[in-house]
C-alpha cells in the first residue's frame, strides 16, 4: 500500500467513513460474541482505536512477534480458542451473509468464483463438489472459471492437533497448507462468496468506497 501504511496499520485505513476493521466488526454475525485480533505492525494504534469492546463484543489482542505466516499467526491463539471459531484476513472486506453461510457448517472455507485466475490460492474440490480437496498457491495459474481462496474459514479447535506446515522455500507456515492436513478427518465445506473485496493496493480503497457507498444507499451491506 506504499506511503499509505508508513504511519498507519493497513486495517485502520478508512473507507466510506470507517476503518477497514470497523467495517469487519460491524458485519460480524450475531453468533460471534467475542473477537480476538492478532496484531503486530503499529499495534498500539489498533488497540488504542478499538479498545476492549466494539459493536457489543469483547475484544482482546494477541501480538505476533515474528511474521512467520498465517498458520504461525493462528497458532499464537491456540490457548485462547477453545471452541469453533471464524478466522479471516484483517484487511479484506466480507459480507455478513457470507459469514453466516460459513457458520452453518462445522468446518468451512469461503471461496470466490472468478472468470480468470492469475494469482492466489486456487481451490480444488473433492469429487462431491462440496468439500475441499486442495489449495494450489501460485502467481501464474492462467485458469478460467476458477475458485480462489478468500482467507475466511470456520474451524474447530481440533485444527491445533495438526502440525504446522511450512511453505516450500520460505520461512513461513501457511494456514491453507496446514488446513489441508485436517480435510480428511474434518470435511471442509465450500461456501461460494457473494461479496469479497481484497484490499491490496491504493486503487482498491477508491473502489471499495464506491461499493460501500452504493450498499449504504440501498440500506447498507450489513442489512
Q: In this predicted model, what pLDDT tens digit does every residue of 100-111 receive, in sequence order?
A: 999 999 999 999
Helix residue ranges, H only, 61-112: 70-75, 96-103
Domain map (residue ranges) of the chain: 2-217
pLDDT of residue 221: 44
Please give the Cα distance from 12 to 6 (Å, whole number).
12
| β-pair partners for 112 | 148
Beta strand segments in the chain, E: 14-15, 18-19, 34-39, 53-54, 57-63, 85-87, 93-94, 108-117, 120-125, 132-138, 143-155, 189-192, 196-197
3 state DSSP class of 222: coil
Dihedral angle sign, alpha carbons of residues 149, 152, 158, 161: positive
CA distance 197 to 49: 23
Q: What is the pLDDT of residue 117?
A: 93
Question: Over the stretch 113-171, which tens digit does the pLDDT of each residue have?
Answer: 999 999 999 999 999 999 999 999 988 898 899 999 999 999 999 999 999 999 999 99
pLDDT in tens, 152-164: 999 999 999 999 9
Report the percentage of the chain scoring pLDDT > 90. 85
* CATH-assigned architecture of domain 2-217: Alpha-Beta Complex (3.90)
Amino acid at each position: 500500500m506504499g506511503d499509505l501504511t508508513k504511519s498507519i496499520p493497513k486495517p485502520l485505513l478508512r473507507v466510506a467513513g470507517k476503518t477497514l476493521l470497523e467495517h469487519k466488526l460491524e458485519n460480524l454475525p450475531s453468533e460471534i460474541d467475542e473477537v480476538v485480533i492478532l496484531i503486530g505492525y503499529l499495534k498500539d494504534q489498533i488497540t488504542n482505536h478499538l479498545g476492549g469492546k466494539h459493536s457489543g463484543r469483547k475484544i482482546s489482542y494477541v501480538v505476533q512477534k515474528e511474521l512467520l505466516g498465517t498458520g504461525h499467526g493462528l497458532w499464537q491463539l491456540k490457548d485462547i480458542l477453545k471452541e469453533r471459531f471464524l478466522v479471516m484476513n484483517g484487511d479484506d472486506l466480507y459480507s455478513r451473509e457470507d459469514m453466516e453461510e460459513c457458520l452453518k457448517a462445522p468446518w468451512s472455507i469461503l471461496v470466490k468464483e472468478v472468470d480468470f485466475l492469475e494469482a492466489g490460492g486456487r481451490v480444488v474440490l473433492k469429487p462431491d463438489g462440496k468439500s475441499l480437496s486442495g489449495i494450489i498457491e501460485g502467481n501464474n495459474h492462467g485458469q478460467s472459471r476458477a475458485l480462489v481462496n478468500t482467507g475466511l474459514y470456520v474451524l474447530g479447535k481440533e485444527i491445533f492437533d495438526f502440525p504446522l506446515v511450512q511453505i516450500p522455500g520460505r520461512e513461513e507456515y501457511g494456514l491453507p497448507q496446514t488446513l489441508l492436513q485436517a480435510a480428511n478427518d474434518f470435511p471442509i465445506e465450500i461456501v461460494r462468496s457473494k461479496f469479497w473485496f481484497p484490499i491490496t493496493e491504493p486503487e482498491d480503497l477508491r473502489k471499495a468506497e464506491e461499493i460501500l457507498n452504493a450498499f449504504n444507499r440501498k440500506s447498507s451491506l450489513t442489512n
